[in-house]
Copies of this chain bind each other. A is one copy, B any other.
Amino acid sequence: MTTANTPSPAPAATTRRKSPLGVAMIGYAFMGKAHSNAWRNVASYFDVPAFERKVLVGRDAAAVSEAAEKYGWAETANDWRTVIERDDIHVVDICAPGWMHAEIAIAALKAGKHVLLEKPLANTLAEAEAMTAAAQAARARGVQSLVGFNYRRVPALALAKELIAEGRLGTVRHIRAAYLQDWLADETSPMTWRLKKETAGSGALGDIASHAIDQVLFLLGDQVTEVSGRTHTFVNRRPGAEGLEDVTVDDAAWATLSLASGAIASVEVSRVATGQKNSLKLEIYGDKGSILFDLETLNELGFLDATAPIREQGFRRILVNEPEHPYLEAWWPQGHIIGWEHTFTHEIRDFLLAIDGGTAPSPSFEDGLAVQRVLNAIEESAAAKSSIIQLAGPPARTAPFEGA
- Residues of chain A touching chain B, judged by Cβ–Cβ distance below 8 Å, are 4, 30, 34, 36-37, 40-41, 43-44, 70-72, 159, 173-174, 176, 178, 181-183, 185-187, 228, 230, 232, 234, 252, 254, 256, 262, 264, 266, 268, 270, 272-279, 283, 285-290, 295-299, 301, 303-306, 309-319, 321-322, 324-325, 332-342, 381, 384-388
Contacts and interface: CB of A to CB of B under 8 A. Distances in A.
Given A187-B287, A314-B317, A335 B278 contact: yes
A229 B298 CA distance: 32
A256 B278 contact: no
Contacts of A228: 228, 230, 385-386
30 contacts: A30-B332, A34-B332, A40-B40, A40-B44, A159-B311, A173-B234, A174-B232, A174-B272, A176-B268, A186-B287, A252-B264, A254-B264, A274-B287, A275-B290, A275-B304, A275-B315, A276-B335, A278-B333, A279-B335, A297-B337, A303-B312, A304-B316, A310-B322, A314-B318, A314-B319, A332-B341, A336-B339, A339-B339, A339-B341, A385-B388
Contact of A336 (B41, B340, B384, B386): B340
B254 A266 contact: yes
A311 B386 contact: no
B313 A275 contact: yes
Nearest to A332: B340
